């Protein structure tokens, strides 16, 4: 029964993550998928959290109404979401246990910032190789830096989301995390 509940919750979290991805797909770099995958890692642990992250981004990227991701980009998205889920499993409990709300909120925002930055760097590197190919004289970091303003919106959005929402959600979910472990 316990394994069935965990599997069902993983399926529900995949569905929720994909639905959030499609719901905001029309607004560039405004999304709820990163936070949902982080929370999935917190609730389900590293292995199932990573599974939720990879399957969610796989479905979203392959069946995206704006077009499917090419393999290098899809791989970078999967790696980025695996890191986000693993961070939720390892750092979520740290945030949840902080006694001082201000410190927990600042830590949560910093984690959201770093996780979004790593995801954007990974996907920009993949996009460079898709667009530019091999043997191009333009530097990789120049390509990544060219997207800084576009990345900035994504980083600001997710940092704000993690600052405002993650700590209260972790407190509520802590009871269920205990029951699932």
Buried b (16+ CB within 10 A) or exposed e, 92-122: beebbebeeeeebbebbbebbbbbbeebbbb
Distance CA 13, CA 85 (A): 12
State which residues form the domain around 16: 2-180
3-state secondary structure string, 76-113?
HHHHHHHHHHHHHHHHHHHHHHCCCHHHHHHHHHHHHH
The pLDDT of residue 99 is 82
Look at 110 and 146; give whichever has higher pLDDT. 110
Kindly report, residue by residue over 36-72, the tens digit of the pLDDT.
Answer: 999 999 999 999 999 999 999 999 999 988 889 989 8
Kindly report, residue by residue over 19-33, the tens digit of the pLDDT.
Answer: 999 999 889 889 999
The pLDDT of residue 50 is 98
The pLDDT of residue 137 is 47
In this prediction, residue 139 has a pLDDT band, given cuts at 50, 70 and 90, of low
How many domains does the chain divide into?
Answer: 1
* DSSP assignment of 151-171: HHHHHHHHHHHIIIIIHHHHH
Kindly report, residue by residue over 87-134, the tens digit of the pLDDT.
Answer: 999 999 999 998 888 999 999 999 999 999 999 989 988 877 776 665
Query: The domain that contains 135 carries what CATH number?
Result: 1.10.1760.20
Q: Is the pLDDT of residue 136 over 60?
A: no
């Amino acid at each position: 029964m316990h394994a069935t509940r965990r599997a069902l919750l993983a399926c529900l979290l995949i569905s929720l993550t994909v639905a959030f991805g499609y719901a905001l797909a029309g607004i560039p770099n405004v999304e709820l998928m990163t936070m949902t995958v982080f929370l999935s890692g917190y609730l389900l642990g590293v292995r199932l959290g990573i599974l939720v992250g990879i399957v969610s981004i796989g479905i979203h990227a392959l069946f995206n109404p704006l077009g499917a991701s090419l393999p290098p980009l899809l791989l970078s998205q999967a790696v980025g979401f695996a890191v986000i889920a693993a961070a939720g499993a390892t750092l979520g409990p740290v945030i949840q246990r902080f006694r001082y709300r201000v410190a927990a909120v600042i830590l949560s925002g910093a984690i959201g910032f770093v996780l979004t930055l790593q995801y954007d760097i990974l996907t920009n590197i993949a996009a460079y190789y898709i667009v530019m190919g091999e043997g191009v004289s333009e530097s990789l970091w120049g390509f990544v830096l060219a997207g800084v303003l576009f990345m900035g919106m994504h980083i600001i959005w997710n940092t704000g989301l993690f600052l405002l929402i993650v700590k209260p959600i972790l407190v509520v979910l802590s009871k269920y995390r205990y029951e699932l472990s």
